């Protein structure tokens, strides 16, 4: 069975009906049946454009670690921070991986003199594009940090969303975009463009929040003790978080709620139900986080995004006002019910015919009640052929 034959590449439709494929690049507009890019396609395109710009733009230095005070210079460092005095910062040449080191001295010493004495402190920096420097998420940049002269930095809240459009390599972006392409159409078809964007954004923010929370507690409880607490991130507050994975996990969990028994091809080979795949992804993320795996920070963001996607998919009415700043507010009285998956209704009715009404789960009963109230494109369950 080819990729095009799987359920996620077909629209929810009755036999013989002609509709745009779910997960395709285009969706129909309300005017004249014209087509426009789907929300899922827009996200994929934006991520790819940002990825290419990140590669192409010239590189600048961005702090990668906390300032490490030179032994014996603790008092001088505290005095410098408290007095907001002048400093001399010199950057050593980056290594082939683009990581260099900043050295700092008190006072505006000439470089030739400063390099003859020990610095007060040092920190690592990395060469990245201005786009990554502006969008990547770190605890220090998003919340609060202090420069060598004691100046407060941080409070860059746009990073809670911006990091979700960055990727660190080709495989990183390819797997994330495949995740959006496979599962995004399921969510967008049920919830619509605006709610789809909202679910993705909420999941990305939730991923950053969980990363921040675990990082802050890990630093606070593990700093100086040398003890690693399972589930907490004891990494540096400047450790970067990038990638759309938190949003993708949110979309996957939303799809698992909407179509739990629909099958996709795992690695394009193995058929697996969405709910089983979602559980496996959650189990892997939890295991990697508790065992402090190599991508524990990323797995923390995955869990945060997954929890948010699952939660809001069950309460889509909370997303109605998400984009009020960009459009007219919709009155709750004028909000129409969500369209019901017609193919899901067919499946449930077939189950009732074969096994009886008592065999239905509570969620299947809710789906039938929604369809009976006109949710299935306004025709109710009695319009089934």
| Residue 89 shares a structural domain with residue 47 | no
| Residue 235 shares a structural domain with residue 292 | yes
Gap between the Cα atoms of 381 and 267, Å rounded: 36
Angle of CA points 162, 236, 212, to nearest 5°: 45
Predicted confidence at residue 45, as pLDDT, reads 94
| pLDDT greater at residue 165 or residue 108 | 165
CA gyration radius, the chain: 25
pLDDT category at 372 given cuts 50, 70, 90 is low
Residue after which a domain boundary falls, among 326, 348, 366: 326
Tokens 């003790």 belong to residue: 225
* Of 139, 169, 144, nearest in space to 154 by CA: 144
| Residue 198 shares a structural domain with residue 316 | yes
Residue after which a domain boundary falls, among 84, 107, 128: 128
Is there a domain that residue 8 lies in?
yes
> What are the tens digits of pLDDT across the range 32-59?
333 568 888 999 999 999 999 999 999 9
> What are the tens digits of pLDDT across the range 240-251?
999 999 999 999
Gap between the Cα atoms of 292 and 234, Å rounded: 9
Is there a domain that residue 376 lies in?
yes
Q: Give the least confident one: 25-34, 291-300, 305-314.
A: 25-34
| Residue 232 shares a structural domain with residue 294 | yes
Predicted confidence at residue 321, as pLDDT, reads 58
Predicted confidence at residue 335, as pLDDT, reads 41
Is there a domain that residue 138 lies in?
no
| Residue 194 shares a structural domain with residue 265 | yes
The SS3 of residue 28 is strand
Q: For residue 45, what is the domain's CATH number?
A: 1.20.1540
| Residue 352 shares a structural domain with residue 224 | no
Average pLDDT, the chain: 78
For 135-214, where are the E strands, in sequence order?
A: 144-146, 152-154
Tell me: pLDDT of 262 over 70: yes
| Residue 321 shares a structural domain with residue 353 | no
Percent of the chain with pLDDT over 70: 78
Is there a domain that residue 141 lies in?
no
| pLDDT greater at residue 371 or residue 119 | 119
User: Would you list the DSSP string of 239-290?
Assistant: --B--SHHHHHHHHHHHHHH-TT-EEEETTTEEEEHHHHHHHHHHHHHHHHH
> What are the tens digits of pLDDT across the range 55-106?
999 999 999 988 899 898 888 888 888 877 788 888 888 888 888 999 888 8
- Indicate the number of domains in the chain: 3
| pLDDT greater at residue 41 or residue 371 | 41
Is there a domain that residue 149 lies in?
no
| Residue 222 shares a structural domain with residue 358 | no
> What are the tens digits of pLDDT across the range 178-226?
999 989 988 988 888 888 999 999 999 999 999 999 988 887 776 555 5
- Say if pTM beats, i.e. exceeds, 0.85: no
Predicted confidence at residue 224, as pLDDT, reads 55
Q: Which domain holds residue 280?
A: 3-52+164-326
* Of 385, 172, 363, 121, nearest in space to 260 by CA: 363
| Residue 181 shares a structural domain with residue 223 | yes
pLDDT category at 21 given cuts 50, 70, 90 is very low
| Residue 115 shares a structural domain with residue 241 | no
Predicted confidence at residue 293, as pLDDT, reads 79
Average pLDDT over residues 307-315: 89
Average pLDDT over residues 304-319: 86
Is there a domain that residue 264 lies in?
yes
* 8 Cβ contact list (under 8 Å, min separation 6): 22, 23, 182, 183, 185, 186, 262, 264
Is there a domain that residue 98 lies in?
yes
| Residue 301 shares a structural domain with residue 227 | yes
Predicted confidence at residue 339, as pLDDT, reads 53
pLDDT category at 324 given cuts 50, 70, 90 is low
Is there a domain that residue 368 lies in?
yes
| Residue 173 shares a structural domain with residue 233 | yes
Q: Which of 144-153, 200-209, 316-325 has the highest mean pLDDT?
A: 200-209
| pLDDT greater at residue 40 or residue 11 | 40
Average pLDDT over residues 137-165: 88
Tell me: pLDDT of 154 over 90: no
């Amino acid at each position: 069975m080819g990729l095009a034959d799987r359920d996620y590449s077909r629209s929810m439709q009755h036999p013989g009906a002609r509709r745009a494929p779910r997960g395709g690049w285009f969706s129909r507009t309300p005017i004249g049946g014209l087509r426009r890019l789907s929300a899922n396609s827009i996200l994929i395109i934006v991520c790819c454009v940002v990825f290419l710009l990140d590669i192409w733009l010239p590189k600048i230095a961005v702090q990668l670690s906390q300032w490490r005070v030179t032994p014996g210079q603790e008092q001088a460092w505290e005095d410098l921070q408290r007095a907001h005095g002048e400093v001399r910062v010199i950057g050593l040449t980056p290594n082939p991986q683009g990581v260099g080191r900043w050295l700092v001295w008190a006072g505006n010493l000439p470089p030739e003199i400063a390099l003859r004495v020990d610095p007060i402190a040092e920190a690592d920096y990395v060469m990245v594009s201005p786009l990554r420097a502006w969008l990547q998420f770190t605890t220090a940049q998003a919340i609060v940090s202090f420069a060598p002269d004691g100046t407060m930095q941080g409070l860059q809240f746009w990073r809670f969303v911006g990091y979700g459009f960055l990727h660190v390599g080709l495989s990183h972006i390819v797997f994330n975009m495949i995740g959006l392409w496979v599962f995004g159409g399921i969510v967008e078809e049920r919830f619509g463009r605006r709610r789809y964007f909202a679910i993705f954004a909420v999941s990305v923010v939730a991923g950053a929040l969980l990363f921040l929370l675990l990082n802050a507690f890990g630093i606070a409880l593990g700093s100086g003790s040398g003890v690693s607490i399972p589930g907490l991130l004891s990494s540096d507050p400047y450790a970067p978080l990038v990638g759309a994975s938190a949003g993708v996990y949110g979309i996957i969990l939303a799809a698992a709620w909407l179509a739990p028994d629909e099958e996709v091809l795992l690695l394009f080979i193995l058929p697996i139900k969405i709910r089983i795949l979602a559980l496996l992804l959650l189990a892997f993320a939890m295991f990697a986080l508790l065992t402090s795996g190599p991508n524990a920070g990323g797995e923390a963001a995955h869990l945060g995004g997954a929890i948010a996607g699952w939660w809001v998919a069950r309460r889509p009415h909370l997303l109605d006002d998400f984009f009020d700043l960009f459009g007219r507010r919709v009155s709750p009285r004028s909000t129409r019910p969500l369209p019901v998956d017609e193919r899901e209704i067919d499946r449930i009715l077939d189950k009732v015919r074969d096994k009886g009404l008592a065999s239905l789960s509570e969620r299947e009963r809710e789906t039938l009640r929604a369809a009976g109230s006109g949710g299935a494109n306004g025709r109710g369950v009695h319009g089934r052929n």
